[in-house]
Amino acid sequence: MGKAVYKTSVCACGCECKFEARLNYRHKDENNKPTFPIYKRGHHPNCKKTNTANKPAWNAGLTKSDHPSIERMGFQPGHEAFCDWSHLHEKQRNDPKYRKRWIAAKKGQKAWNDGITKDQYPNGIATGPDHGNWLGGVRGARDTAAYQDFRRMILKRDNYTCQLCGDRNYKGRGSRARLEVDHIEPVCFAPDKILDPENARTLCVSCHKGTDTYGPKARHYIKKRQDLDQGGS
């Protein structure tokens, strides 16, 4: 593409303003040659008629909550997604060449919120009932942001290592070790200790399933503790 061509012109509206007119290859004369504009930007009769040069935007000064159509904009609970990207997800799973190109394109890319903490988000983070995907807290305290912070703290405290077998993720391991936070006294028995660091530890899935409080086995644990408490009393 060639270098832009300019010439000094006088506005044809009568204001006698001089401006740098750029050669326009879209608007051509009767000889099919490019022309220079004869009006300064904003001085065209049509612009003056509607006063678009100085007229503020219709929504100038309005906040997001003042927008007349805000109720039907953005995500609405219960609405179907405009595009769930399922066709691309299927292609990534079944097309090795496409998946390779997609991974190469993402290499080195940084997320827009990289390095930003929860308190630094420009619009804050909606949690609990204020979040669009809230399902009513069917998992109790585990659905809260406080519990997610607690879980990350326990994993970091234990150096992301299973406290029974010592398994952890490392380079060259092959498969990935899945780590979970185990409550020594189950939450169903001692709900007040769900955020107690002394009652939590990091375990791999295999060791977690082998504990006396995993899944349905927690009922036997509770019955055993209740029998011990009654016997002691």
Which residue segment(s) compose the domain that 161 sits in?
Answer: 139-232
Residue 36 in domain: yes
Residue 17 in domain: yes
Residue 85 in domain: no
Percentage of the chain lying above the pLDDT 90 cut:
22
Is residue 35 a contact partner of residue 29, using CB atoms and an 8 Å limit?
A: yes
Q: CA-CA distance, 190 to 222, in Å (whole number)?
A: 10
H or E stretch including 87?
helix 86-94
User: Per-residue pLDDT for 78 more than 70?
Assistant: no
What pLDDT sits at residue 47?
63
- The string of pLDDT tens digits covering residues 3-31 is 788 888 888 877 888 888 888 888 888 88
In this structure, the number of other CB atoms found within 10 A of the CB of residue 210 comes to 13
Residue 124 in domain: no
What pLDDT sits at residue 184?
92
Threshold 0.95, pTM exceeds? no
Q: CA-CA distance, 226 to 219, in Å (whole number)?
A: 11
Residue 99 in domain: no
In this structure, the number of other CB atoms found within 10 A of the CB of residue 90 comes to 10
Residue 161 in domain: yes
Phi, psi of 132 (to 5 degrees): -65, -25
- The string of pLDDT tens digits covering residues 93-128 is 899 999 999 889 988 888 888 888 878 887 777 777
In the chain, how many domains are there?
Answer: 2
Residue 106 in domain: no
Residue 175 in domain: yes
